[in-house]
Every structure is written in structure tokens, then in C-alpha cells.
Structure 1
Amino acid sequence: MNGSSITVTFILTVYKDMNSDKNVFFIVVFLIYIASIFTNITLMLLIYLDTSLHKPMYMFLFSLIVNGLIGSTAVWPKVMVILLTGMNTTSYAGCLIQIFLTATYGACNFTVLTVMAYDRFVSIFNPLKYHTIMTPQKVRQLLLAANLVPVVCVLGQVFLTSQLPLCKNTLHRIFCDNLSLSSLSCGESIQSRMTNLYGICLIIALLILPLLLVLLSYVKIIVFILKASGNIGKKAFETCSPHIIIFVNFSTASLFCVIYNRISPYLPGEANILQSINYLLVPPLLHPIIYGIKNQDIRKSLSKIWKRKIWTI
């Protein structure tokens, strides 16, 4: 089997082990996915329509929402089609596209969350200079870098993977990921070593480094909150808490995903399903829920638009 051929078809074996659980899994995925689409689009429209939300934090949140929709849509519609039809296969090109989109989703989430942490850091430690530092031009530059750099880096990874000659076509997954596809290559070679080394560098640059930067910023923020007086500390915590919750959840899901990919041959298919849901289905749904519950500006904006709609009917 030649990995450069676009006629290669991969078999996703996890679906064969589901049997009667397919219906339950389909219902769970369908309900969460639809809820995620509806709530995220609602929040995007809210940010777009309400000029009072045209602030750096909400621009970054808008980007985070788009990344979440891209990542979940790259996987779950295909999963639901397989569950309904029983055709547990995917094309070579489709597999590479799925790898690119899901990897971009993960990398962009970490870079955008890092930029959001920087925004919160500036707002707490330099409140009087905040608007001078976080100018519209700087916000655009940060957003461009946070999304473009991961896209280019992931493209390089997908290109290297596409050059690997493949000797197998069976993936014990519910969707394609880079490590699993690379494991189908024909033994050890310079190409496979380069691909693995590049992948490790990506993990360090786009996962571990952002993780450390965010943790460092929040250590300083937490120290500030503990030392600050009641109202100041409370306000700082309320400002940061939605980002902290989302960051901790996504970091935990990503860490579990990385660990799972390394030890997956020793785990049952159910573990793959759980980690996939935890990584690609739950986080996009949490963004609007957490920000809707925790953020006063979002609640006020939603109430304002809702009242306006009622009065115009």
C-alpha cells in the first residue's frame, strides 16, 4: 500500500465493537453537537451585534468559539453518518483533512487561550494603561498570530505525514489523528523519524509552552488576588474565572488525549470514545455556557437584545 495514493481507504475499527451501543452514542453525540452549534452561534451573534462587546476579551472569545466549531464539525457529522450507515471507513484525503482540522483546533485553542491570559494579566496589573496597551491594532495582530502560526505549523505536520509510505489501513479510532496514521507507516525510516520529531516539537511549542505561560501568569494573578483587598480581589477573580475554568478543562482534556495516544494499544475502544468526547465535544459546549453564566456583560447583552426583540414584535 502506497501512502501517497489518494485511493487508500482506512477502516475505523472502534465502531465494530459498539454493537447495540451505537444508538445511545448517536443520540448523545447528536444532542451535545446540536446544543453546541446553537449556543456557540448565539454567542457569536451576540458579540457581533452588540457593540458594547467589541472589546479585546470578546474578540478573543469569538476566535475561540470559531476554533471550537471547526474542531467539532471536523469529526462529529462524520461520526454520526458512520453510526447511521455502518460504513466505518474514510478516505485518505478525508483522513488528512480531519487530522489538519482537529490538530489546528487544539493548537489554536491553546494559543488563543494564552493570548486571553495575557489580556487578563494586562487588565489586572495595568488597568490604567489597558486601552493604551490593548489597542485594536494589537488585538488584530495577536489574533492573527494566535491563529496563523498554528495553521502553518500543523500544515507542515500534515505534509510530512502525507509523505509516509503506508503498509496498513486499520485505525483503532473513531476518527483520524496524526499519531495513529503515522503508526501505519512501513517500519522505521528517516521520514517517520522526521515526522515524529516534528510532532514532538509542535507539542512543545504549541501545547507545553502556552501551558507554562498561562500557568505563570495565573500564579501571579492568584498571588495578587490573595494580597488585594476584598472588592479588588473579588473583581479580579470574577474577571478571570471563566477563562480559568475553560483553560483547566481544555488542558486536562488535551493532556489526557496526548497520554491516550501513547498508550492506546493497551486500552479498550470505549476509552477512545470517552477521550474523543472529552476533547472535541465537551469544550466547545462549555464556552457559551461558562461565559453565559459567569460573565455579567454577556448576560446584560442577551437580556438587552431579548427585550428589544420582544418590543419590536
Structure 2
Amino acid sequence: MATVQLGDVEIAYEVDGPDDGVPLLLVMGLGTQLVGWPADLVEGLVERGFRVIRHDNRDVGLSSFTDAPPPARSAVVRSFLRPGSGGADYLLSDMAEDARALLDHLDVPAAHVVGASMGGMIAQQLTIDHPERVLSLTSIMSNTGSRRHGGVHPKLLPTMALSLTQARPTDEQEAVRLGVEGWRLIAGPLFDETEMTEMVRTAVRRSVSPIGTVRQLLAILDSPDRTPALRRVAVPTLVVHGLADRLVAPSGGIATARAVPGSRLLMFPDMGHDLPRARRGEIVEAIAQNAARAATADIAG
């Protein structure tokens, strides 16, 4: 793993695969570090010839944290009630610029871009803002930013509010337990507690910042609807979503696929807001096929 200063933020990143592999950028979601990408998914992409780039978004993991007072609880409530009210320290577009700057640092002129959850939103924004830097787009368990589609199940809201406002546990075992229980609430029926415990423990030992997660959440809430801009996306696009997703309703994936011309929609009945082991092989294959569509388009062009 390495870190690089990109403007005002320091970004931690990791690269797997051959130096001459086709670049593929993985962008993770809300409050989740680069270790949130399952090892076998990364390995599967490497085996298909990709040079896989992962990074910690700002305000999570080993990347730098915003040097500003913590968001007031009133600002968080206001953003929930009136999205776009301006309580965020930055927007998804700024996080997309972090990703673009990382590609610059790595001398990558263009990459296949895959994002999960908030990472899907960032990947969409990167494609919108810098279409020349994106070879293909894969948006997993995400949405378009429209408040009409891809919302949170009402039963999750009290738990989310509590998790975002509670103090960080000082005991590692308790922090891991709470993290695993949080994932259990949003995962589908294929939830693997043993695997998730290992991932959460790794993340806790790297870094934990509830305030960073709140800042990222505000960035989501205050960022504009991407639907009109997504209609102009021209790169091959794959949308993956689970029908058992309660954190981002399946309508978010459907709306994304409808917005992007020529996109392909892949939905799994037994996937929630997670990347279950039983479905990773199919997801890797679908990403590779979507990337191949970009190569075919280049030849045709």
C-alpha cells in the first residue's frame, strides 16, 4: 500500500496485478475502506488481466481526514430533511476528482471504473465529469442521486441514525461486533459472518472514524441528481443490484440502468447491500464482459 498527496487530501491506495494490465479502478462505498473489496473478487479481476487499483476515499481508512469541526447534528438532520441544503464539507464531485487525480498520479490515461454503493455514485460522477478517463462503467448497488429511487428502507433509519451519532468504541472486540452487526442489517440472505468479521477486524485495526462517515453521508445528501447527466454517458455501462437490498432499494439500480443509454442491468434475488461470495464469480465475469464491450467499441470506431 502507498499514499500520495493529491491537492489538499492524502489518498491511500493499493495496486494489484501486472504493470501492463488494463487499468481498473475500484471505488468503495460509505465509510468503507479499500479492504471492503473481497480478496477473491480482486483476484478474479487480476486473473482476467486487469491492473486493479483500490483506494480509501477521503475521510476513511488511511486517507486523510477533513480538518474542520465535526458536522453539527442539526446539519445532518437538515440534510436528511432537505437534501442539498449545504451542510457538506465537500460533494461527490470532489471525491470523483480525488479518483481522477489518483489516476493522474499513476500515469493512467483511462481506466475501467467500478463503484459500489457511494462508490457507484462517485464512479458515475467521474464518468460524467471526465468521460475521456473512463473506458467502461460498472455501478453496483447504487443510485442516480434522485430522491425518488433507491432510498433507504424506513426500518433502517433509526439504526442508521444511532450508528452515526454513537461514540467510537474503545475496545476492539466491541468495535468489531458493532461493525459486523451493522453489515448484517443491510446484507442479504447469503451473509457470511466469519468472512465479515475478518474484514471488519482488519478495517478497525487500520482506522475507524464515525465522523468521517457522517461527512461522506452529507456529501451524498448534498450532491445533485445525476440523472440528466447520466443520459449523456456513452461508455459501456453495467448496473448490478440485489433485490434484497434495503439500504439502497433496487429501484436505484433500475433507475440508473434506465438513465444510461445502452446499459445492461444484472440483478440477483439473493443479494442485499453486499457482495456475497456465491455471486462474486458472476459479478467479475459481468465486469470483464462490460470491459470487453469497450474494446469492441474501440475496434468498431
TM-score, length of structure 1 as denominator length: 0.29
| Structure number with bigger Rg | 1
Q: Which has the higher strand share?
A: 2
**Larger RCO (CA under 8 A, 6+ residues apart):** 1
